[in-house]
Amino acid sequence: MSAATRNNSPSASSAPDPQANETLIREGRARARALIRDWNLKHAYINGEWRAADSRETLDVIDPAKGDVIGTVPFMRTSEARQAIDAAHAAFPAWSRMLARERADILRRWRDLLETHQEDLAALITLEQGKPLDQALREVVGAIAYAEWYGEEAKRAYGQTMPATQRDRRVVVQKHPVGVVAAITPWNFPLTMVVRKCAPALAAGCTVIVKPAEDTPLSALAAAKLAEQAGFPPGVFNVVTGLPHPIGEALTGDQRVRMLSFTGSTSVGKRLMEQCAPTMKKLSLELGGNAPFIVMDDADLDAAVAGAMISKFRNSGQTCVCANRIFVQDGVYDAFVEKFVAASKAQTIGNGFVPGTELGPLINRQAVAKVERLVADAQKRGANLIYGAALPEEGFFTRPLVMTDVPDDADCFDEELFAPVAPIYRFGTEDDVITLANRVRTGLSSYIYSRDIGRIQRLADRLEVGVVGINDGTTSHEGAPFGGVKESGQGREGGHWGLEEYLEPKYLNYALKSGI
């Protein structure tokens, strides 16, 4: 965790040929940098134009694996956000009246361009976000899946005709796009989250303004470049880069923005909700998670360990659905811990451009400081710490860590770790684990491992969450409704539910008269 502990244990990621690894890192970084240069990703995208900030100020983009500057983007503020709103508002009438089939054709071209450039986009994600290249490629594949789904779903915004209560009446329900949509996206999946929000909005006939996370704006700009090539008209798809406060206030305060879609922390989501209240915007909020990963005593332990490794350590634990609290029943606790610790220690940590790397860096120094605080608190309260591989000498890394015998009053029980740190808790009965699992304010994702289908169903019914993974450490699917309950937000992304978020029903009551 600290500099003093970086190299006090053998590293599972020690390479037989460090010089070859350095060559791979240089080549990967060069590929991503070439994309930044060739696609002009140093400018934001407003009303079909690539442009600088009015002030000409810029923000640095940092490679978290090395800590150096890899590019700059415009430091935009309120005025540029309002210009993007002007453009999206002006473009909305023509875009919303376009035939659904025509919008679907453009979305399909966007999807095809994402697929054509998937290798370059993956390299860009690894450079600016830090995740291993194979995980970055899977992220691009996920973005392609969402673009494909909503290209098809654009033609399925069905209305209804309902039986009337009188003979000379007809009741018709139409679906209309909400209007201008502001999409504020996170840094942990910088491409997929842009597409997951924008593809259904665009399919519905909305125009969009994307505010990407300041740590990872380049992937959003790359998505805009391909959207431009796909043929989205000026003003339909806009990307404004900068810090959250001035841009967010402009987007939430303008009544022409009719909907806000946000993925991020619960605290920020609450603040945005307050800011949207005066103009009564429609909201789609995917906020913090604190996923329970439940291993019952009849579980297949090898499968449970494999699932926990995927859920906990994917993207270095920086996902809202990762296993934040691993609950293991008394009868298999020791056996699970033994297997899980062995698997955790075998992971490789390092630069994502090196093949075989499983754990990349955290996003920034603040993320490292947060996990150090939470681990120190758990240790002070009696948790046993078991470290994995040693750290690279540069970048924003933290060591993979398993914490056993963690008390349920530790801060990490209630607060997301967002790091490759796995706290394991012991429990006795079904009632015990349900009480522990639900004893938090959030309720996004969860996982159950058991061979007893009745037990699985009982637990799934009682868990206060929006997503349940059953004997599987992954839950992603573009056709499923993703979202949470309690303080994990409101609304759903994915499937026809995701399209409905961007549509408003309009009820037409016909009085039929002679001659009509």
What digits encode the pLDDT tens for the residues 387-426?
A: 998 899 999 999 999 999 999 999 999 999 999 999 999 9
Query: 81 or 510: which carries more pLDDT confidence?
Result: 81
Banded pLDDT at 166 (limits 50, 70, 90): confident
Banded pLDDT at 6 (limits 50, 70, 90): very low
CA-CA-CA-CA torsion for 21, 114, 317, 341, nearest 10 degrees? -60
Instruction: Summarize the confidence of residues 265-283 as an average pLDDT.
Output: 98
What digits encode the pLDDT tens for the residues 316-359?
A: 999 999 999 999 999 999 999 999 999 999 999 999 999 999 99
Instruction: Encode 168-178: b = buried (16+ Cβ within 10 Å), e = exposed.
Output: eeeeeeebebb
Query: Can you give the residue range of the structural domain that contains 172?
Result: 44-286
Alpha-carbon span 27 to 43, nearest angstrom: 24
Average pLDDT, the chain: 95
Contact in structure between 121 and 113 (CB atoms under 8 Å): no
Confirm whether 487 is a catalytic residue. no
What digits encode the pLDDT tens for the residues 210-245?
A: 999 999 999 999 999 999 999 999 999 999 999 999
Contacts of 59 (CB under 8 A, 6+ apart): 72, 73, 74, 75, 214, 217, 241, 242, 243
Assess if residue 154 is contained within a domain: yes
pLDDT at 75 over 70: yes
Assess if residue 4 is contained within a domain: no
Tell me what percent of the chain is helix, strand and coil, each rounded to the nearest 5.
45, 20, 35
My answer on whether 85 and 136 are in the same domain is yes
Assess if residue 14 is contained within a domain: no
My answer on whether 258 and 297 are in the same domain is no
Number of domains within the chain: 2
Banded pLDDT at 512 (limits 50, 70, 90): confident
My answer on whether 449 and 306 are in the same domain is yes
Choose the weakest-confidence range: 13-22, 314-323, 449-458.
13-22
My answer on whether 410 and 468 are in the same domain is yes
pLDDT of residue 67: 97
My answer on whether 91 and 237 are in the same domain is yes
Assess if residue 485 is contained within a domain: no
Catalytic site residue from 139, 148, 228, 286: 286
440: which strand partners?
none
The angle formed by the CA atoms of residues 29, 366 and 223, to the nearest 5 degrees, is 45
pLDDT of residue 168: 85
My answer on whether 131 and 242 are in the same domain is yes
pLDDT of residue 7: 37
My answer on whether 108 and 169 are in the same domain is yes
Alpha-carbon span 189 to 358, nearest angstrom: 16
Instruction: Summarize the confidence of residues 17-26 as an average pLDDT.
Output: 93
pLDDT of residue 167: 84
- Domain with residue 69: its CATH number is 3.40.605.10
Instruction: Summarize the confidence of residues 290-309 as an average pLDDT.
Output: 98
Assess if residue 408 is contained within a domain: yes
pTM to 2 decimal places: 0.94
Banded pLDDT at 72 (limits 50, 70, 90): very high
Banded pLDDT at 16 (limits 50, 70, 90): low
Assess if residue 5 is contained within a domain: no
Banded pLDDT at 515 (limits 50, 70, 90): low
pLDDT of residue 469: 98
Assess if residue 39 is contained within a domain: no
pLDDT of residue 389: 84
My answer on whether 414 and 463 are in the same domain is yes
pLDDT at 516 over 60: no
What digits encode the pLDDT tens for the residues 456-479?
A: 999 999 999 999 999 999 998 999
pLDDT of residue 122: 98
Only one residue has tokens 């992603």, namely 476
pLDDT at 5 over 50: no
